[in-house]
Amino acid sequence: MMSFWVMLDDSINTDELLAGAGAAVLAAFFAELVTYQAATRFRMRIGWLVPAFSLPGQVVRDMVIVYHALWRRVAHGVQPPSAFLELPARFGDDRPEGLTRRTLLVGGTSLAPNTFVLGIDRDRDVMVVHRLVAEEKES
C-alpha cells in the first residue's frame, strides 16, 4: 500500500510519507474488516501462478477468434456460434487455499475475451462458461 502511495505521489518528503503511511493503515484496516465480515481468507501457492505465463498467448489467440467472429458478423451477417459450456473443474473445499484456487481459476479463465466464467458448481465439479465462439467439439 505504501509503495503505491509513493508511486502515485512521487515524493519522499517526510510529510508525504506520513500521509502515505496513514492512508496505508486505513486501507489495511478496511481490507481486514471486509475479509473478517465476509469470513474469507486468501492463501496462495506459488505453483498456482505458473499457468499465468500462458495467459498472454491465450489473450492473443482469443483476440483473433473474437475479431474474426466480428468480421464475419459485419461482413456476412453470420452470428457467432456462442454457447454455454460445462468444463471439468474441481470445486475443492472452503478452506482459504480452496477459495484462492477458485478465485484464480475464475480470473485466469475470464481474462481472455472468448471465454467468461459464470461459476464453479460445487455439487457437480464443473465450471460453467460462456464462449463467444464455441468449437463444435469441446474436449
Partner 1 sequence: MARQVVADILLGLAVVTTLGASVGVLVMRDAYQKLHFVTPAAVVAPLLVALAIFVQMGLVENTGETFLALLFMVIAGPYLSHATIRAIRVRETGDWRLREGPGDGGRTAGGEKEQ
Kindly list the residues in this chain that would bind partner 1 in the complex (CB under 8 A).
4, 7-8, 10, 59, 63, 66-67, 70, 73-74, 79-87, 106-114, 116-119, 121, 128, 130, 132, 134, 137-139
Closest approach of Cβ 94 to partner 1, in Å?
18
DSSP one-letter code for 133? S
Closest approach of Cβ 81 to partner 1, in Å?
8
Rounded CA separation 73/77 (Å): 4
Q: Specify the 3-state DSSP secondary structure of 88.
A: strand
Specify the residue, 33 or 83, whose C-beta has the smaller distance to partner 1: 83
Closest approach of Cβ 75 to partner 1, in Å?
11
Specify the residue, 97 or 130, whose C-beta has the smaller distance to partner 1: 130
How many CA within 13 A on the CB side of residue 23? Answer: 14
Nearest CA-CA partner of 27 in 46, 8, 48, 49: 8
